[in-house]
């Protein structure tokens, strides 16, 4: 899918209605790149983009992360999908505990 149509698709996604242009551009480039990767490259790619975003002071909310993961999961092995789901569930549990304090 070309960048302009990907941009419009993501820009019109209700879950991303409040996303900044900078984050949208980053999200588009990540999704576009992820679609070209081989199955064994997806997990390291996901971990890498998480670190890169953190280094830039950016973080992704649940909706943004879900979009990235949905693209990546299309090509992931069942074992990698299970790992990602487990990490997401742990993250949610930690967030819930932190918000109750």
Q: What pLDDT digit, counting tens, does each position of 75-99 carry?
A: 788 888 898 888 888 878 887 777 7
Residue 72 predicted with pLDDT over 80? no
pTM of the entire structure? 0.59
Q: How far is CA 57 from the centre of its chain?
A: 16
Instruction: Determine the angle formed by the axes of helices 42-55 and 78-100, rounding to 10 degrees.
Output: 30
Is the pLDDT confidence value at 69 over 60?
A: yes
The average pLDDT across 58-73 equals 79
Res 3 pLDDT > 70: no
**CA quadruple 83, 85, 86, 88: dihedral sign:** positive
Above 60 in pLDDT, residue 2?
no
pLDDT at 1 over 60: no
């Amino acid at each position: 899918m070309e960048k302009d149509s990907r941009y419009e698709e993501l820009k019109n996604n209700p879950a991303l209605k409040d996303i900044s242009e900078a984050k949208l551009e980053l999200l588009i480039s990540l999704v576009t790149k992820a679609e070209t990767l081989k199955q064994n490259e997806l997990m390291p790619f996901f971990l890498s983009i998480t670190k890169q975003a953190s280094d830039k002071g950016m973080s992704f909310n649940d909706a943004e992360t879900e979009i990235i993961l949905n693209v990546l999961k299309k090509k992931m092995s069942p074992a990698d999908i299970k790992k990602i789901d487990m990490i997401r569930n742990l993250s949610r549990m930690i967030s819930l505990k932190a918000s109750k304090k």
